[in-house]
Amino acid sequence: MVKRISIVLFICLGFITAAYSQFAVSYKNPKYNYSINLPKAMDIKQYPSESSPDTVIASNKEGSELVIAAGKDPTYKGVNASQLIVGTFMPSLKFHYKNVELLENDYTDLGGEPALYMKVSYKSEEEEGFISQLIIIRNEKLIIIKIKANKENYDKFFSELTGYIFTFQFTESSAKEFYRNEIFSFVMSFPGGWQFDRNTFPVQANSPKGSSIYIEAIKSNEYADMSAYELDPDMLLEAMNSKLSNISIVSKKKMNIDGNPVFYVKYRWVQSATGKGDVFLIIHYYLIKKGVLYVIQGMVRENQKEEENLIQQSVETFQFTK
């Protein structure tokens, strides 16, 4: 009997970044060796110049901004963001904005690197609003990714930009095609020229043409003594429909990878938000082993058969090391 299991979690995690990457321009900063997807619809400017950018600002017509400011400072030698304190960055915010108040702060992870998160409110005669920023340090390079919007637009702008922010990665570690995960004991090769950070998990590889491969693993007693062949395709589609409209199953089949049962499902998604009715294929490979559900997701435009073949070839290299 086919089992119905709760799978909404991994679709939320795995799909957000991949979906956003389809409607973005991939920005690469050679001066500080990082890359990030930026919204195509926003106005993007670089300062002091395009040839030597320290600051990148993406803004919309409402005046909301995504700012990426970078600099190198030997003071941060041997330091990462987990060692930073919020008070270090408050004076700069108070200098640029009036009546600044710290609302939230925490430590998180971005692109496989520790990051300091903070959110403040500001208030002037002209405007009230909020600023959230993530601060990363690597090899004496300080990167601050900041979202700024007025009080009325902040919540919507923040939710829209989150997917883009989490495509950030340093490119020094993204050239290798071979990916090894020591926690879940598997290896896989991504297509040549696709960018990814081999030091982070879940991991996503991005194609220059906008396609992507995302790998997630979820450990749960729910998957004990269960095979991927027992997954319910109707349940899978129901979970996808809860996040996306105009999505349907194109094909499904049972297969094997590295001697393990794999349930393959290909979805067709018509993205209406662009106003163009762009069509994408979302391809899921589900594998269950030792109580862990592995999901390898490929995402590609419907007419890019070559990219779809690259995804398939990459997935076929998946192997467990233990």
Q: Tell me the per-residue pLDDT of 259-273, one tens digit each, with 9 for 90 and over.
A: 899 999 999 988 765
Range of the domain at 200: 8-18+174-320
Asked whether residue 23 is domain-assigned, the answer is: no
pLDDT tens-digit readout, 114-132 = 899 999 999 988 899 999 9
The whole-chain average pLDDT of the chain stands at: 85
Identify the weakest region by mean pLDDT among 5-14, 50-59, 125-134, 252-261.
5-14
Q: Are residues 264 and 238 in the same domain?
A: yes
DSSP string, 276-304: S-EEEEEEEEEEEETTEEEEEEEEEETT-
Is residue 9 very low, low, confident or very high in pLDDT (cuts 50, 70, 90)?
very low
Is pLDDT at 8 greater than 80 in this prediction? Answer: no
Domain final residue pick, 98, 124, 154: 154
User: Which long-range contacts does 83-87 make (Cβ < 8 Å, 24+ apart)?
Assistant: 84/116, 84/135, 84/137, 86/116, 86/118
Distance (Å, whole) CA 1 – CA 312: 28
Q: Are residues 188 and 305 in the same domain?
A: yes
Report the pLDDT value the prediction gives residue 167, as an integer from 0 to 100. 80
Q: Are residues 73 and 138 in the same domain?
A: yes
Read off the CATH number of the domain in which 140 is found.
3.40.1000.10
Asked whether residue 2 is domain-assigned, the answer is: no
Q: What is the mean pLDDT of residues 96-105?
A: 92
Distance (Å, whole) CA 162 – CA 98: 25
Report the pLDDT value the prediction gives residue 16, as an integer from 0 to 100. 43
